[in-house]
Structure 1
Amino acid sequence: MTRRLTLATAAGLLTLSPAAAQTSPGAMPPSPAQVFGPLYHAVEMRRIFPDSKTFADAVPKRPAAAILAAYRACRCDDDAALRRFVAAHFALAPDAAPRPQEKLPLVDHIDRLWPQLTRTSMTVPPGASALPLPRPYVVPGGRFREMYYWDSWFTMLGLQASRQQRLVEDMIVDFGSLIDRYGHIPNGTRSYYLSRSQPPFFYLIAAMSRDPATLATRTRQLRAEHDWWMRGSQDLAPGGEQARVVRLADGTLLNRYWDDRDDPRDESYREDAELAAATPGRDPRQLYRDLRAAAESGWDFSSRWLGDRRTLATIRTTRLLPVDLNSLMVGMERALADQYRKLGDAATADAFARQAETRATAIRRLMWNGRFFADYDLDAKAVSDQPTAAMTVPLFAGIATPDQARATAAALAPLIGEGGVRTTLIASGQQWDDPNGWAPLQWTAITGLRRYGLAAPAARIKAAWLATVAREYAASGKLLEKYDVTERKPGGGGEYPTQDGFGWTNGVTRALLAER
């Protein structure tokens, strides 16, 4: 336990101290798989729970050492005995699906969902995988019962439209506290997510604050996040790679998705282990790293990351320099330049402005294939020819030239279905592929196109997306994680069923409806 977390012995809870935001990053708490080892492996591989995430989120009723001692003495060879053991020693976390409510107009329904999806966790039980947070926050819903990184910015768009600025400010503080404790914002607020992050939207999250007195704090935290993403770059020679940074042979420095661990993900342990067992001839550690890196991308999973664009066993996320990640890094560097200028530090502001422009120039040069923006393949030493909705992020970040923006709009047209923007044109069975559309990609497409005066395709996407959400809401009374935007129905594919809630769908839909 680090000095930022204190054990409240009377309550038996792990408590976030008020001084948490003033300390330097400390040790990462271990994940459940790391703590419980053979027990965790047995529970997951014997499918005691249909969803691997269930046990990852379970709360131990006793200290880990006592549970492991009991497990060594347990005759848990059959599944019924193992289930009894788990029930005796762990409490399962409740699902975060919203409660049914009376049918209301869509705007009113979303406004009433926010309290149902709001959580407070200043204290967490000892041994739990949950990470404490100092302020209230909104969860996505369903199996996602913790705060997630990039989800939250899209959720917060809706909170602002719903006049929930206090909750927005609270979540900004929460994200800052994660950077102060761990040096970065994890994928989600669980110990098993600490080895990776997600698309870096904190520069936009922090910019939602309306409290000018916090500018210096937010700038310090954003600088720490940038340092984390760029860790290892300072002494990286041309042609070198280090975690999330890659320096090309010509000296160009860019980022990729990564994960600091190379074992099965706690929340998808069985799925990862079974895939590795079924993929002879491939180093399982590299397979796990690429699966985890795709989880950091938020696009878990997509043909975008697959060597053959069809089969998960061919995943190679770490061999690609993603166009969306690097576009967001430009946004971060520009934000740092602007914030340091406001704070009166012109030298640092100029340095970040130069970094941003150097990166933006590299994106226009290396990630433009003549028709649209795409990822750069480190092994092929060439830009991808696969069209995906990620092509809109350079427009969203203001990196594209006017000609590139117009060409991107033309290239995006085949991805626009009756219900919104499809993620890709490949139906691989993965959830970030055809025919699925996701709220964050609708927003980046709409706002990116508008930024370049391309109002017609932006309006088409907006109308199509809102019609899809409204149609499903009329049918089921729910807002979903993803939609089939070809047939305008619930989305499918991937590792788990489509979830109800749902944070970023609520946020993007509410923000778009507020424009009317």
Structure 2
Amino acid sequence: MKCYILYASAVLFSFISAETVQSCDSLIYCQGKLLDTIQSARIFSDSKTFVDLSQRQSPDETLRNFKKFMAKYNDNPSKDEVSKFVEDNFKDNKELVEWTPPDFNENPSFLDGIKDPKVLEFAKILVNIWPNLARKVDESVSKHQDQHSLIYLPHGFIIPGGRFKEIYYWDTYWIIKGLLLGEMTETVKGILENFLSLVDRYGFVPNGSRVYYLNRSQPPLLSLMVGLYIDATNNKDWLEANVDTLEKELTWFLTNRMISVHGHKMARYACTSGTPRPESYYEDTVTCQSFKDKDKEQCYKNLKSGAESGWDFSSRWILREDGTSGPDLPDIDTFRVIPVDLNAFLCKSFKELSRFYSILGNVDKAQEWSGRADKLEKGIQKFLYSEEDGVWYDFDIKSGKSRKGFYPSNLAPLWTGDFDKNPETGEKVVQYLKNNNIDDFKGGIPSSLLDSGEQWDMPNAWPPLQEIVILGLKNTNNSVALDMAERAGEEICRCVYAGI
């Protein structure tokens, strides 16, 4: 094991140049020999375990202790010795405290409309999950932020659960929809203010509230979340206080994630950090081990960009040289893809920001963002829409062709409302889904038709993708599409009910 740790470190550091963009500035959690030595030793089966630990002392003291430790063992400690160093210098303490949202309501009014006793029981179970997942960051994190990878947030929030003990960006859109259905508007406001505070600090919303996520974002849904809150509360004073921060976030995407495609500015996921993800450090080094120098760095960038998409990982981003999808993660090439859903999300976000400025009486800003939405929508229709199939496909920049595999994201513009409102739209989409036998699957709409072994592929059915397809069909207002949407909704509800 000693030889392996030394070899792994040598391989990693041989390609890192002064120009390489790191995951973040921390020499504990994001870069450097300490991180590499500990993660290469594999003292934890999950790489995330180490980077979620807090330090027992200041980072400077931790680094001094590490320098002495490495000198003691001639830069080649054993796995057990590394484990002892971690035990002496890090701890798994209570960074999060359990929190009961003050506006939690066991019996929100929507329950009154449910007549079926089994469905009512099911809905009540879901409502009562909120307190089990509600957390606040302990004040000690604020006082000693540099000793934690967890980023301090001022308000309570909802965590996904399991190994995920922090707030995540795009997951939160659906959390907020559920909270608003439960009439928990104060909790929603606090969650939104957490995200806005991240934009104020970093210029964008990170993937999650850990410093090792500061190299990437996630699907841009903050303006859509705010739209849900404003529709529920009509809180114009709050909107006026925060609308410029929403503009700041969308400007970040315009500055950092756009590429010109035949004269049209289109968005893609393109993380510039060319090192392993700290929370998946060992796994990434294995994935990219066959590459050298700049190719290895690009492999890490593509992995981080795939994680930024929220689809980590999927055959959507795994492209062979000829452009076909494959199951081999080292072939990941996220940079090569113009994703349908990212561009649809941005287009809808631009429209929402325009709406917010209109509400506040700022005509110039409203027109500015409406104009940006119009330009992006034209690009979506020109490069991503298939007149033949009636859906939108990801675009392969390298080949200049559409990627015609089935993914629920192919219907994202229906969900965001960026489509021609005519009767044929719904009919074409239904036929497309039938041609791919999507209505035959039990347990929900699959993430793809390729069983690659990755999470965001066949046979897995993820809740956000269920909504994108089901509400997308509903938005066409076509009777055949509405019927398919109802059947798909019933199927996923049966699946979740069985699981609960």
**Residue 216 of structure 2: aligned partner:** 196
Quick one: distance in 2 between partners of 1:192 and 1:218? 26
* Greater alpha carbon shift after TM alignment, 401-410 vs 442-451: 401-410
Give 1:337's aligned residue: 354
Q: Which amino acid in 2 is paired with 1:83?
A: S
Q: Show the counterpart of 1:55.
A: 50
How high is the sequence identity, in percent, across the aligned residues? 31
Match of 2:85 in 1: 85
SS in 2 for 1:429: coil
Counterpart selection for 2:314 from 302, 305, 308: 302
Deviation, 1:35, is: 5.8
Partner of residue 374, structure 1: 393
Where 1:120 maps in the other structure, the secondary structure is strand
Change (3 A) 1:33 1:263: farther
Question: How does 1:25-104 map onto structure 2 within 5 Å?
Answer: 30-31=25-26, 37-74=32-69, 75=73, 77-92=77-92
Shift in alpha-carbon separation, 1:93–1:464, aligned structure 2, 3 A:
farther
Match of 1:406 in 2: 427
Once the two structures are overlaid, the 10-residue window that deviates more, 113-122 or 168-177, is 113-122
Instruction: Tell me which moved more, 153-162 or 286-295.
Output: 153-162
Measure the CA separation in 2 of the matches of 1:168 and 1:409.
35
Q: Does the 8 Å contact 2:24/2:30 carry over to 1?
A: no
Equivalent residue letter for 2:92: L
- Counterpart selection for 1:312 from 298, 316, 329: 329
Q: Contact 1:36–1:64 at 8 Å: present in 2 too?
A: no
Cα distance change of structure 1 residues 94 and 80 upon mapping to structure 2, 3 Å threshold: farther
2:133 aligned with 1:112: no
2:328 pairs with 1:327 = no
Matches within 5 A, 1:379-398: 379-398=398-417
The one of 435, 438, 455 equivalent to 1:415 is 438
Which amino acid in 1 is paired with 2:123? V
- Aligned-residue offset at 1:192: 0.7
Residue type matched to 1:30 in 2? D
Give the C-alpha shift of residue 33 in structure 1. Answer: 5.0
1:213 is aligned with what amino acid?
Answer: D
Q: State the match for 1:466 in structure 2.
A: 493
Instruction: Classify the secondary structure of the residue corresponding to 2:385.
Output: coil
2:141 is aligned with 1:141: no
Superposition deviation, residue 135 in structure 1: 0.9
How many residues in Structure 1 have an aligned counterpart in Structure 2?
Answer: 429
1:262 maps to 2:274:
yes
CA RMSD, Structure 1 to Structure 2 (Å): 2.2
The Cα shift of 1:279 comes to 4.2
The one-letter amino acid of 2:407's match is T
User: Matches of 1:205 and 1:293 in 2, distance apart?
Assistant: 23
Cα distance in 1 for residues equivalent to 2:93 and 2:459: 32
The secondary structure found in structure 1 opposite 2:367 is helix
Q: CA deviation at 1:382?
A: 1.7
State the Cα distance separating 1:34 from its structure 2 match: 5.6
Residue 348 of structure 1 and its aligned partner are, at CA, apart by 2.0
**Shift in CA distance, 144/47, structure 1 to aligned 2, threshold 3 Å:** same
- Provide the C-alpha distance between the structure 2 equivalents of 1:114 and 1:259, rounded to a whole number of angstroms: 33
Offset of residue 410 of structure 1: 2.3
Mapped partners of 1:459, 1:37: distance in 2 = 52
Deviates more, 1:409-418 or 1:300-309: 409-418
Change (3 A) 1:285 1:155: same
Query: Which AA in structure 2 matches 1:217?
Result: A
Q: 2:7 matched to which residue of 1?
A: none
Counterparts in 2 of 1:232-271, with a 5 A limit? 243-249=256-262, 251-271=263-283
CA shift at 1:292, angstroms?
0.4
Kept in 2: contact 1:52–1:270 (CA 8 A): yes
Shift of 1:121: 1.6
SS at match of 1:432: coil
Conserved? CA contact 1:36–1:68, under 8 Å: no
Amino acid at match of 2:396: D
Identify which of 442, 445, 450 aligns with 1:426.
Answer: 450
Instruction: Assess if the C-alpha contact under 8 Å between 1:415 and 1:425 holds in 2.
Output: no
Unaligned runs of 5+ in 2: 1-22, 99-117
The Cα shift of 1:105 comes to: 3.4
**Contact 1:409/1:457 (<8 A) preserved:** yes
Aligned to 1:178: 198
**Distance change in 2, residues 1:153/1:184 (3 Å):** same
* Separation in structure 1 between the aligned mates of residue 94 and residue 155 of structure 2, nearest angstrom: 20
Quick one: structure 1 residues 426 and 94, their matched pair in 2 at CA, closer, same or farther if it must change by over 3 Å? farther
**1:278 alignment partner, one of 270, 290, 295:** 290
Cα distance, 1:384–1:93 mapped onto 2, change above 3 Å: farther
Output the CA distance in 2 between the equivalents of 1:213 and 1:281. 52
Which residue identity does 1:72 align to in structure 2?
Answer: K
**1:168 touches 1:208 (CA, 8 Å); kept in 2?**
no
- Is this contact kept in 2: 1:186–1:196, CA < 8 A? yes
> How much does 1:282 deviate?
7.3
In the TM superposition, what is the alpha-carbon distance from 1:92 to its structure 2 partner? Answer: 2.1
- Equivalents in 2 of 1:462, 1:263: separation in Å? 41
Change in CA separation of 1:264 and 1:391 when aligned onto 2, cut-off 3 Å: same
* Greater RCO, CA 8 A, separation 6+: 1
Q: Is the 8 A contact 1:197 1:296 kept in 2?
A: yes
Q: 1:33 to 1:317 in 2, by over 3 A?
A: farther
- Write the deviation string for residues 431-484 of structure 1: whole angstroms up to 9, x where unpaired: 0000000011111111111111121111111111111111122xxxxxxxxxxx
CA radius of gyration, larger in? 2
Distance 1:33 1:212 in 2: 42
Looking at structure 2, the residues matched to 94 and 264 of structure 1 have their Cα atoms a distance apart, in angstroms, of 27
The superposition leaves residues 243-273 of structure 1 with CA deviations (integer Å, 9 ceiling, x where unpaired) of 4110123x11111012131110011000111
Give the Cα separation in 2 of the matches to 1:35 and 1:430.
25
Paired AA for residue 217 in structure 2 = S
Displacement of 1:283 after TM fit?
0.6
**What does the per-residue CA deviation read over 1:103-130, in whole Å, with 9 as the maximum and x for residues that have no partner?**
9933232222211211112631432011
Structure 1 pair 73/36, CA: closer, same or farther in 2 (3 Å)?
A: farther
Relative distance call for 1:95 and 1:143 in structure 2 (3 A) is: farther
Say whether 1:364 aligns with 2:381.
yes
Q: Deviations over 1:481-514 (max 9, x none)?
A: xxxxxxxxxxxxxxxxxxxxxxxxxxxxxxxxxx
Aligned counterpart for 1:457 among listed residues 484, 488, 493: 484
Which of 179, 182, 187 is 1:162 aligned to? 182
Query: How far apart are the structure 1 equivalents of 2:59 and 2:293?
Result: 36
Deviation per residue, 1:330-356 (Å, 9 max, x gap):
101111111111222212212221221
Query: How does 1:429-444 map onto structure 2 within 5 Å?
Result: 429-444=453-468
